[in-house]
Amino acid sequence: MRALLLALGVLTCMPAHALSTAAQEFMSISKELEPAQCEKRRLRREIALAEVEQRPADIKKLRARFAALDKDKKVARLERRLAELEPRLARSSDPEDLDAVSRQQREAFYRCE
């Protein structure tokens, strides 16, 4: 009886299910890309505002900064890898994968604000 209780206690303390390797890699890369993604999001808002306010000089500068972010080799390489992982993640048999990725992306979105 004591062994059964001990085994039950150990099992309840262990995590129920770990994330797949694709989900772990996706989340790791997303975390690494977070500053660049935040900057891109900010620049998109500023470009839209400059277009509405008809400030062509600002639009040109902002688009140039956005293009520079897109040309960054490290950022481009990581974004390509995310694009490769995304279909694998969508097909994942682990229901926790998408929940964990979604939670991380929501938290990142609010950290950018």
For the segment 44-71, the average pLDDT, to the nearest whole number, is 95
Mean pLDDT over the full length of the chain: 86
Per-residue confidence at 92, pLDDT binned at 50, 70, 90? confident
Per-residue confidence at 93, pLDDT binned at 50, 70, 90? confident
Tally of domains within the chain: 1
Residue 71 lies in a domain: yes
Residue 12 lies in a domain: no
Q: Answer yes or no: pTM beyond 0.75.
A: no
Give every CB contact of residue 30 below 8 A, 6+ residues apart in sequence: 37, 82, 101, 104, 105, 108
Residue 37 lies in a domain: yes
pLDDT at 7: 53
Q: What percent of the chain has pLDDT over 90?
A: 60
Range of the domain at 39: 19-112
Q: How far is CA 3 from the centre of its chain?
A: 43
Residue 6 lies in a domain: no
Residue 65 lies in a domain: yes
pLDDT at 58: 95
The one-character DSSP state at 18 is P
